[in-house]
Structure 1
């Protein structure tokens, strides 16, 4: 799993921080989480083609998380996209996309499929090797956090299969895929030749939210938690009033959830230097960094989070 931060600012961008957006490569898909203003330009700087985007996940419908959508949608049409684009988001995402389609008198010749996220927690996308889950958070509007969880198939125990006189070949593949087989009238089940379940890597992106206990459970034991930290603790009242978290809140959640790595993002424009936020967070949870635009994170195996392209 590879993540690139395209924008790490909160409501007002700065010279060094764009509005919120993260692109994530997982398995055979490229996912975009939030799409703040100028996201497509950030993708150019990061040398990531918007044409490769498969799915866009929107945490909530505030402008700093969605105003890049019209530009990307129209640019994909200009570039001749033909395959569908999936966009997931809270209630109102359908209406938003209908308005976007009418902007700029552009012709959109590819299918845009919207998926409304509802409920407190749900699995909203699943394929053989990963799932995307959503968890409702608490902000000034409906807001969702998202989790990507890799699914690792149990190890195929070749020695067990040979003991059962299963010939190497297609039958091995069927069992490894979870299908039982009939071998000369004997039914052999996958669990007879598969090892124990293996945990895949997991990451969670908080969206905008006040600190809440449900995030601790949602992010339990994940490899990477990306949590908003709009303010420092001197502005704790302002953070709560506006539906946000302070850096210390994010750190407490990371500590209580036993996450491996915490990355702070959604930084207020009042901070030209984020060291104050980092110091507050690290006092609670040592394995913390703050995100900056174009920072790349690679999660290779359990408890192996690599952060590259740092300032």
Structure 2
């Protein structure tokens, strides 16, 4: 279809070099030139096939920030300065890229993998309101090695996942900021897609038992041999996904599943609603009226008619500091030691190690619109274990042994001859600070509890729906922020990288996106690295987090 159209035209297909020749934004204008152009005509079948190959990767989600249009090829296009170190942490998360034989692309991928893939942010949707041909609705994924967290799920999110390296089976938690459709309508398709992926995997005999053990745990119950072919077989526990959000989330999910006659047979779904907030819509809240007394509240009441097997509901109360603690691993101390059969004290195997490590996850309210309870979320690592300087440890009387595991986690140990004690500060090197990710959904103001949680974030995702030209009154009435205030927020709280998202439907094109970035830089005053997120963009946070001051000083030396 496209090939026949190209045969009738003589066009120039513009392909961006900045995204390593991935054709996310193609423009057919014969008057424009670029750094790499392909002239397609009826006599150039090879170029047509080349264009068809790129068209297969063309998703219609583009931003002029990724495209370098050059009306005059002899002139160099000036681009906003971005920290070179940060550029190495950026990539586009697309499955098709893995099948490329391009030497330069492979080299860039290797450099990126060397950073650390245990903490990566993937933008599955960066638009606001409804999806457009340039951007999908709000969805951000945090990849943590073997598990993935999703933040907001607009319609079309599951389709976006098909283009990325994210496996649906790796999704273990979903966080919903508020119940507006552009942040919620994709939740049920994502749940069903995850369940189907697990169902296929459990019935896949070709999948190795080692790989299955990453997602499924054996059940203690044994199936009757007569009913299942003679020999006893160990059943596998159904995987579990946790969904966090405001009151009413469970009723929405249950209603859609019930009315669509959908059954959750292969997935446990736990819906945890954050209750006790200022904007909670329920009995006794400011948003409930006296006329509702005696009636069931659609947000907090229980409806037996929409109950769904394997979908449960829990409530998480607000703390005294106006935050919600979703997950908070206990600090590693000497009391964390477990005495083994050999009589030696060691740490539990799951202490901040491996892909199943626990994280500090907290939430706090945002001021979006009156009566619309909205949350922001913060994810922070446990302090990662340091590295032992073996020469120093041996000199202090501790040879390589299980004691090194205690020292890495900050616990003092006796030396081998028992004459003294060795402290972690004496032998540890390469001690990394924990990485922090913050996501602020739609809001017109960030209350102090949420601001405190975002302090010193490595990456903060902030909306930029409006422009500074719209004025303060527009912020109050629309319940959205502009890029200038986003930049100022990142500056005040010491955030290393500011990623703007939730752009309006008309926010595309080089000039407009440049204005948005300039506005954010004016508010930030050079305190943070700023970028405008686009669909499928991925930021890998290096081990120890971003430290641009240290990087600049080392480069100058």
* TM bracket (short chain): 0.7 to 0.9
Q: Shift of the alpha carbon at 1:134?
A: 1.5
Q: Shift of the alpha carbon at 1:97?
A: 3.0
2:325 corresponds to which of 123, 131, 134: 123
Rounded Cα–Cα distance in structure 2 between residues aligned with 1:250 and 1:199: 25
- Taking the TM superposition and a 5 Å limit, the aligned residue runs for 1:37-76 are 37-76=155-194
- Taking the TM superposition and a 5 Å limit, the aligned residue runs for 1:263-278 are 263-273=499-509, 274-275=512-513, 276-278=515-517
Q: Does 1:102 align with 2:261?
A: no
Would the aligned equivalents of 2:366 and 2:447 in 1 still touch at CA under 8 Å?
no
> What TM-score comes out, normalization by structure 1 length?
0.86
Would the aligned equivalents of 1:8 and 1:20 in 2 still touch at CA under 8 Å?
yes
Moved more, 208-217 or 48-57: 208-217
Q: Does 1:261 align with 2:379?
A: no
Give the equivalent residue in structure 2 for 1:168. 400
Rounded Cα–Cα distance in structure 2 between residues aligned with 1:262 and 1:218: 15
Moved more, 90-99 or 155-164: 155-164
- Taking the TM superposition and a 5 Å limit, the aligned residue runs for 1:113-262 are 113-117=270-274, 118-119=317-318, 120-126=322-328, 128=352, 130-140=359-369, 141-150=372-381, 151-159=383-391, 161-163=393-395, 165-177=397-409, 191=424, 195=428, 198-212=432-446, 214=448, 215-236=450-471, 237-262=473-498
Q: Deviations over 1:127-154 (max 9, x none)?
A: 5253222222111211111112223224
Rounded Cα–Cα distance in structure 2 between residues aligned with 1:24 and 1:42: 15
Give the equivalent residue in structure 2 for 1:290. 532
Distance 1:288 1:194, change over 3 A: same
Moved more, 49-58 or 211-220: 211-220
Q: Shift of the alpha carbon at 1:64?
A: 0.7
Q: Shift of the alpha carbon at 1:5?
A: 0.6
Greater RCO (Cα-Cα under 8 Å, separation 6 or more): 1
Q: Secondary structure, in 3 states, of the residue corresponding to 2:484? A: helix
Give the equivalent residue in structure 1 for 2:235. none
Q: Secondary structure, in 3 states, of the residue corresponding to 2:271? A: strand
Give the equivalent residue in structure 1 for 2:244. 88
Q: Secondary structure, in 3 states, of the residue corresponding to 1:24? A: strand
Would the aligned equivalents of 1:230 and 1:239 in 2 still touch at CA under 8 Å?
no
Would the aligned equivalents of 1:70 and 1:103 in 2 still touch at CA under 8 Å?
no
> What TM-score comes out, normalization by structure 2 length?
0.50
Q: Shift of the alpha carbon at 1:161?
A: 4.2
Rounded Cα–Cα distance in structure 2 between residues aligned with 1:47 and 1:169: 38
Q: Secondary structure, in 3 states, of the residue corresponding to 1:245? A: coil
Q: Shift of the alpha carbon at 1:115?
A: 2.3
Q: Deviations over 1:1-53 (max 9, x none)?
A: 11111111111221111110011112432111111111000111224322221
Rounded Cα–Cα distance in structure 2 between residues aligned with 1:181 and 1:100: 56
Rounded Cα–Cα distance in structure 2 between residues aligned with 1:22 and 1:254: 19
Distance 1:14 1:158, change over 3 A: same
Q: Deviations over 1:187-222 (max 9, x none)?
A: 958657664964122221111111336254332222
Q: Deviations over 1:120-177 (max 9, x none)?
A: 2233124525322222211121111111222322444545643553342223224434
Which of 1 and 2 has greater Rg? Answer: 2
Write 1 or 2 for the structure with the bigger share of strand: 1
